[in-house]
Structure 1
Amino acid sequence: MLTRPLIAALLAGFLSATGFAPLDWWPVTLACLAVLLHLTWHAPSLKSALLRGWVFGVGHFTLGNNWIQHAFDYQDKMPPVLGYFAVLLLALYLAVYPAIAMGLAWRFARSVKARWNEPDIAFVLAAAAAWILGEYLRGTLFTGYPWNPMGVIWVATPIAQLAAWIGTYALSGLTLLVAGALYLATQRQYRVPVVIAAALIAFGFALHPGQPVEDMTRPHVRIVQPNIGQDGVDAPDYAPRVLNKLAEWSGQPHGVPRLVVWPEGMVNYLIEDGYPREYYRQADPRWVRGRIGGLLGPQDRAMVGGNALFFAGNEVSGVGNSVWVVDPAGMLGARYDKAHLVPYGEYLPMRTLLAPLGLARLVMGDFDFLPGPGPKTLDVPGFGKSGVAICYEIIFSGQIVDRRNRPDFLFNPSNDAWFGSWGPVQHLAQARLRAIEEGLPILRATPTGISAVIDARGRLIGTVPAGQEGAIEAPLPAPLPATLFARLGNWLALIAGLASVVLAIAFRRLAR
C-alpha cells in the first residue's frame, strides 16, 4: 500500500512532461499536477510529502530531458551509453525542487487545518507559491538549469502573454493554481475552479496577440540554416564546407538593408587579429573576414559566431564562445562572449578530480571555455542595438538583457544538433517565452533547426524546420515598449509568491 502513492507520483511526473513540445499535451500536465497535489495533501508525514514530490520530479525530468542522451553520441572520449545515466542522474537531482515545493505545501496545510480538514484554495495557493520558489532555485543554484519551466506549456496560447506582466516563474505558479482548481473540482468545490476558469478565459480574450503583421518598411534580417551537424566535425574539409554552405544561403544584397545572421560557432576559423602566428594554421583571418564581408551590400551587416582565444602571457588559457558584428569591409565590430556556460558541456567542473576518472566535456577541443562578463548590448549600425544570448543562455529568465542599455532585438545563435528531436522544439518554445517577457523580437539561428524569427509577442514570423537547409528573410520585427517584467525582472516572482502566501493565510483564517 505504501508503494502505490509513489507509483502514482512517478507515472504522473512522467506523463506531466508531455505538456511540453513536441507533444504539447498541456491538459495532461494540468491533470498530472492535480494528482501531485492530491498525493501531497494526503501524505501522512512531511517525509512522505517530500518523497512523493521527489518521485514525481524524477519521472518528470527523466522524460523531459531525454534529449540530453543524444549529446553523448558526438564525442569519442566517453561511451554514448553514459548519456542514459546522465539523464537519470540529472533527474535525481532536479527532482529535489518539486520535493521542496510539495514539502512546503504540506507543511502549510498541516500548520493551520481547514475547518473540514479538506483541501482548499489556501492549500493550492501555498503550493503555487512553493512551486515559484522551487523553480527559481532550480534556475539559479549551482549555475542553474531552468529548462522547461512549467509555465512554458502555455507558450502557444494567449495565457503566455501574462509572462510580460508576471514573468516565467510566476506563470509557473499560475499553472499550479490552475491544476489546483482542477483538483478542487474533483473534491466538489466548484466556486474556485469557476472563478479561475472565467479569469483565464477573460485573460485569453484580452491578451490574444492576434496575427503578426510584417512592416515591409523595416530593414530585413536573413537567418541562415546550413543543416550541417556534428557529424564529420573532425574532417579536414569541415571548416571550408560549412563556410561555403553558409555563404550559399546568405543570399545577395538588394535594395533593403539586410542583417545576415549565422548559427553558433559555425565559423570554424579564427577571425580576430593579434594572436601568435602559429594559431592561424587554417587560414588568414583577413581572408575569412573578407569572405564574410563580400556577401554583404553597403548597408548590410552580419552577426556570426565562432571562437575567441584568451591568453595568460603567451599561453592560451581558454576559449570564448563568441559573436561578432561584421561590416561589408570585413571589419569586426563589437564582440559578445557567452557568459552562462554549460557545465560538463563547455567546461569540466572540478577538472583535476574528474579528468583522471575518464570524464570529459562534451564539446570537442583542448581548452575549456571561459565565461564572458554577462549581458551586453551590441551596436549594429543600421539595425539598432542587439542583445545576445548564445544557445541555452536564452532559457534564463531575467538574465539575458542589459537593463541599463535595453536592446532593440535579441540574437540567439545556437547549436541544437546535439539535442535529438525533443530538445530543439523545447528550446524554441522557451525562446518564444523570453520574447514575450522582454517585449523584444528574437532572431534564432541554428545549424540544423529550428531557426526562427520571433516577434516581440512570441509569435513565429518564419522558421526553417529541423533537418532542412535554407534561410528566412523577413523584416526585422519592432520591439515593444519595455514590459513590466523588463522593468522589474524576477522581483515579480517574489511579489507573486508573497501574494500567494498572504492570500493563503487569509483564506485559512476565514475558514477557521
Structure 2
Amino acid sequence: MSRKPALLSLLLGVAAACGFAPLQLWPLTVASLALFMWLIHRAPSGKAALWQGWTFGVGHFTINNNWFQHAFDFQDKMPPVLGYAAPLALALYLAVYPAAAAWVAWRFRRPRIDAGYVLIFAAAWIVAEWLRSVMFTGYAWDPLGVIWVPVQPVAALAAWIGTYALSGLTVLGAGLLLLLPLRWAAVAGVVAGAILGGLQLVSYRGIDAPAKPDALRVRAVQPNVPQDERGESDGEMMLAKLSELSGRPGAAPRLVLWPEGVVRDYFEDGYPDYAYMSDPVWLRWRMARLLGPRDLLMTGGTALQFDQMGRAVTATNSVFAVDHRARIVGRYDKAHLVPYGEYLPMPWLLKPIGLDRLVPGSMDFAEGPGPRALTVPGFGPIGIQICYEIIFSGQVVDRANRPRALFNPSNDAWFGKWGPPQHLAQARMRAIEEGLPIIRATPNGISAVIGADGRLIGTVPHETAGAVEVPMPEPLPPTLFSRLGNWLAVIVAFGLAAVAIAIRRRAD
C-alpha cells in the first residue's frame, strides 16, 4: 500500500478543515474534496480506498477539533499535556466515517470517473455524517454543510433538506468538477465563487421593519469570564458583573439571558442545609431586582437530586427561569450530555487508568427528558438547548410545542480560539433549519442573537464583556425540515443513489 496517496489524503483532509470557522475558506474545502474523490477513484483496492479515506478523516478532524486541547487546561485530574493528544485520538475514531463513505464510492467506481461514482459518493457521505451524529451518543460537530454558513443563499437550502443532505450536495458539487475538462473546471470554480459572493452581498441588504416601542426585547449577557476564573461566581463579584451588564427595566418586556456555567450557587429551595453555599432566596432576589414587572431572567444553573437519606446522588445541568418576584417559573434539564465532560463512559475501565471527567465534581450529571419548550409568561414558548445540544441537527425542537425562539446558553470558555466561532456557525445552521431565532449567551463569547434565517442580528465578540439587546426576532413559518427532520437526509441520500443506479443501467 503506497504511502504517497495516504499522505496526500491526510493533507487534503487538513485543507478541507480550513473551510470551517474561523478561517471559512470554503473554496479550499470544495477543491480538496474534488481531489480526494479523484484519489479514491484511483485507489488500487478497496483496502487502499478505506485507508486513504481514513487518513483524510484523521487530518480533517484533528485540525477541526484542535480546540478540544484547551479543555484539558482547566482540570487537575489529568495532566494538561494529554490535551495535545486528545484531538488526534478523537480523529482516529471519527475518521472511520469518511473512510466508510470512500469505500462505498470505490466499490461503485468505473474505469473513468462518471456521474454514478459522484452521486454514490455524495449519498454515502450523507449516511456517514448521519451515523456520526448518532453512534455512541453521537458527535455531530461540524458536518460538511456548515461551511456554507457565510454564504447564505447556499446555507438557506438547509431549511429544505437539512445540514446532512447539504453536506451531500457539497460533495456532489465538488465531484461534478471532476466531470469537466480541467480548464472548464477552473472557469466553473471562479464563476461559481463570483456568483455566490455576489448573492452573499445581496442577501445582507434586506432592511428589517422597525420594532414597535412596546415590542418584546431580548438581552444576552456576556461577563467575559475565562474558565479558570469561574470560581468568582461563588461570590459577590460574579453577580455584580452579571447585574451590571443586565441593564435596567424599560417600557418593553425584556427576556434577560445569562450564560451556562457562571452562577455556581443553587437556585432551588428545599435542599439539605449542607448543600448550600448561600441562601437560594437571596440569590433569586438579587436577580429579581434587575427585572421589571413584565421582565423575565433565564440562566444556566445546577439542580441536585437526593436519595432518601438526604445525600446528593446526581445533578442536572439546567436552565432556570426567574420572574420579578424571585419565583422559579420554569426549569429545563439538559438531555444530550457531553461524554468525558458531564459523565464518564465506562468508569470501571477508565478511572483505574487515571482518566476522569473534565468538569469538576464527583457526580456524573443525569439526562433530562429531551427537547422541551418552556411556556414563559409574556413571551410564549421558548425552547432551550444547553451548549453542545445545539449541534445536533433535527434534535433541538419540541415538535409537540413549537417554540417562538431557542435559547442556547453555553460555556464556550472551554473551547479555545477555534471552538466558539465553530459553535456559533452550527447554531446559525439550526436557526436556518428550524426557521427559529436563536439567542446565545456565553461566559466569554461569542454571544449572539441569530435571526430565523441564520443572519447575525447582534453579537458580543470573543473575550469581551458586554451585552446585546434587540427586539425579539420573529420566527418564520415552519420549514420543510422542521416538519420532516432528518428523514429528508434519508430521502436525498436514496434519491442520489437511485439516480446513480439508473444512470449506470442506462449506460450498460
TM-score (norm 2): 0.95
Q: Distance in 2 between matches of 1:81 and 1:187?
A: 46
Could you tell me which runs of 5 or more consecutive residues in structure 1 were left unpaired when the two chains were aligned.
none
Contact 1:166 1:484 in 2 (8 A): yes
Q: Deviations over 1:430-452 (max 9, x none)?
A: 00000000000000000100000
SS in 2 for 1:346: coil
Contact 1:389 1:410 in 2 (8 A): yes
Q: Deviations over 1:160-218 (max 9, x none)?
A: 0000000000000011011101222256787xx79x969x869969x947535154123
- Aligned counterpart for 2:226 among listed residues 225, 229, 247: 229
Deviation at 1:57, TM superposition (A): 0.2
Q: Distance in 2 between matches of 1:422 and 1:13?
A: 17
Q: Deviations over 1:76-120 (max 9, x none)?
A: 1111110111111100000000000001111122xxx3xxx3101
Contact 1:215 1:477 in 2 (8 A): no
Contact 1:159 1:204 in 2 (8 A): no
Q: Deviations over 1:2-30 (max 9, x none)?
A: 11111110100011100000100000000
SS in 1 for 2:470: strand
- Note closer, same or farther for the CA distance 1:500–1:189 as it changes in structure 2 (3 Å cut): farther
Q: Which residue of 2 aligns with 1:262?
A: 258
Deviation at 1:266, TM superposition (A): 1.9
Q: Deviations over 1:27-72 (max 9, x none)?
A: 0000110111001111111111111100000000000000000000
Deviation at 1:232, TM superposition (A): 3.2
- Which amino acid in structure 2 is aligned with residue 84 of structure 1? Y
Q: Distance in 2 between matches of 1:216 and 1:260?
A: 18
Could you tell me which runs of 5 or more consecutive residues in structure 2 were left unpaired when the two chains were aligned.
none
Q: Distance in 1 between matches of 2:500 and 2:207?
A: 39
Contact 1:75 1:362 in 2 (8 A): yes
TM-score (norm 1): 0.94
Contact 2:142 2:422 in 1 (8 A): yes
Q: Distance in 2 between matches of 1:504 and 1:189?
A: 23
- Note closer, same or farther for the CA distance 1:202–1:120 as it changes in structure 2 (3 Å cut): farther
Q: Which residue of 1 aligns with 2:353?
A: 357
SS in 1 for 2:402: coil
Q: Which residue of 2 aligns with 1:58?
A: 58
Q: Deviations over 1:296-346 (max 9, x none)?
A: 001101111100002232221211100011100000011100000000011
Q: Distance in 2 between matches of 1:232 and 1:506?
A: 60
Deviation at 1:473, TM superposition (A): 0.6
- Which amino acid in structure 1 is aligned with residue 428 of structure 2? R
Q: Which residue of 2 aligns with 1:47?
A: 47
- Note closer, same or farther for the CA distance 1:212–1:265 as it changes in structure 2 (3 Å cut): farther
Q: Distance in 2 between matches of 1:148 and 1:6?
A: 23
Q: Which residue of 2 aligns with 1:98?
A: 98
Q: Distance in 2 between matches of 1:349 and 1:152?
A: 28
Q: Distance in 1 between matches of 2:326 and 2:57?
A: 50
Contact 1:214 1:477 in 2 (8 A): no
Contact 2:261 2:443 in 1 (8 A): no
Where in structure 2 are the equivalents of 1:428-447 lying within 5 Å?
428-447=424-443
- Note closer, same or farther for the CA distance 1:203–1:409 as it changes in structure 2 (3 Å cut): farther
SS in 2 for 1:255: coil
SS in 2 for 1:321: strand
- Aligned counterpart for 2:132 among listed residues 119, 134, 138: 138
- Which amino acid in structure 2 is aligned with residue 256 of structure 1? A
SS in 2 for 1:67: helix
Contact 2:234 2:265 in 1 (8 A): no
Instruction: Give the total of aligned pairs.
Output: 502
SS in 2 for 1:458: coil
Instruction: Determine what percentage of the aligned residue pairs are the same residue.
Output: 59
- Aligned counterpart for 2:217 among listed residues 205, 208, 220: 220
- Which amino acid in structure 1 is aligned with residue 303 of structure 2? A
Where in structure 2 are the equivalents of 1:18-167 lying within 5 Å?
18-109=18-109, 113=110, 117-157=111-151, 158-167=153-162
CA RMSD, Structure 1 to Structure 2 (Å): 2.2
Contact 1:214 1:475 in 2 (8 A): no
- Which amino acid in structure 2 is aligned with residue 287 of structure 1? W
Q: Distance in 2 between matches of 1:202 and 1:242?
A: 43
